[in-house]
């Protein structure tokens, strides 16, 4: 007789908390953030490099927005994470659940089981924040997503080069009719030709898709890559870049990281 065993899915987390979304299409809305550990990118501008590796513990906010964190061991079983999210889910408080990181799509097997349950439990829309470079993993969870904020990584700013993956990723979102927008981090070193290529790529899928240009937040000297310091662009640069992209795309907005202005870190 074969005995079947059931293994409870687990994920390595950094933190779970409630805050105001500071970037992109959902800026200003209140979200439950589930921040996953691990990232396979090494962007020069990254202000969350602590998520690149899997920590032994994670932080869980007990009361939404109060930053009264408890420390728990990793990895976290799926039923426990559902309990933590539901504790955050006070009536009428949150607009959606944000899956962020790190790179959440590195946890796709976990997400395929977690997402249908958390949607049913909370009744909240699910928003994915992603590097936009893992289309194969995206296909597995698209049915459970309501919106996607995907990065376009410009080599001149991030050091990454993911054009083919970005194109496939964006097409998948568009064909699935999932609300999607593009976020592009720009710095003083931004290559104009790369921005134009990004605009042409988006326009070829659908020129109505919104693009958010986000001026980089300069990192502390100790955090920066010494071979490529990341400096904020000038206002003149940003104005010129927006004008260039609007030749291809209808909706191009410039939005800084507002959560840092509000001290919602």
Binding residues for [4Fe-4S] cluster: 39, 43, 46
CA dihedral 172, 208, 98, 218 (to 10 degrees): 110
Sign (positive or negative) of CA dihedral 264, 112, 109, 62:
positive
Token look-up 């009744």 returns: 123
DSSP string computed for 69-86: EEEEESSEEHHHHHHHHH
Q: Which residues are annotated as a binding site for substrate?
A: 20-22, 35, 100
Q: What is the spatial distance between Cα 54 and Cα 111, in angstroms, rounded to a whole number?
A: 17
Helix (H, G, I), strand (E, B) or coil at 143: helix
Q: Which residues are annotated as a binding site for Mg(2+)?
A: 48
Q: Which residues are annotated as a binding site for S-adenosyl-L-methionine?
A: 45-47, 102
Give which of 76, 40, 79 is closest to 59, Cα–Cα. 76
Residue 84 structure tokens: 């933590």
Q: Which residues of 2-26 are buried (b: 16+ CB within 10 A; e: fewer)?
A: eeeeeeebebbbbbbbbbbbbbbbb
Q: Which residues are annotated as a binding site?
A: 20-22, 35, 39, 43, 45-48, 100, 102
Q: What is the spatial distance between Cα 21 and Cα 33, in angstroms, rounded to a whole number?
A: 9
Contact call for residues 132 and 152 (beta carbons, < 8 A): yes
Please state, as a whole number, how many other Cβ atoms lie within 10 Å of the Cβ of residue 135: 19
């Amino acid at each position: 007789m074969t005995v079947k065993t059931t293994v409870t899915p687990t994920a390595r987390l950094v933190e779970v908390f409630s805050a105001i979304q500071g970037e992109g299409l959902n800026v200003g809305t209140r979200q439950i953030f589930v921040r996953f550990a691990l990232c396979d990118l090494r962007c020069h501008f990254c202000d969350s490099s602590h998520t690149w590796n899997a920590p032994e513990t994670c932080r869980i906010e007990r009361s939404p927005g109060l930053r009264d964190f408890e420390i728990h061991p990793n990895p976290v079983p799926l039923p426990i994470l559902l309990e933590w999210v539901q504790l955050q889910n006070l009536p009428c408080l949150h607009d959606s659940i944000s899956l962020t990181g790190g790179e959440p799509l590195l946890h796709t097997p976990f997400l395929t089981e977690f997402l249908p349950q958390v949607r049913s439990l909370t009744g909240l829309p699910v928003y994915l924040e992603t590097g936009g470079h893992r289309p194969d993993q995206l296909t597995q969870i698209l049915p459970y997503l309501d919106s996607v904020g995907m990065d376009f990584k410009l080599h001149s700013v991030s050091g990454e080069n993911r054009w083919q993956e970005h194109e496939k990723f964006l097409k998948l979102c568009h064909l699935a009719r999932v609300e999607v927008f593009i976020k592009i981090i720009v710095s003083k070193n931004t290559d104009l030709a790369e921005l134009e290529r990004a605009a042409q790529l988006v326009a070829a899928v659908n020129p109505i898709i919104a693009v958010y240009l986000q001026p980089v937040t300069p990192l502390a000297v100790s955090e920066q890559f010494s071979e490529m310091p990341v400096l904020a662009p000038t206002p003149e640069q940003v104005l010129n870049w927006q004008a260039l992209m609007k030749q291809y795309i209808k909706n191009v907005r410039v939005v800084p990281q507002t959560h840092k202005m509000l001290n919602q870190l």
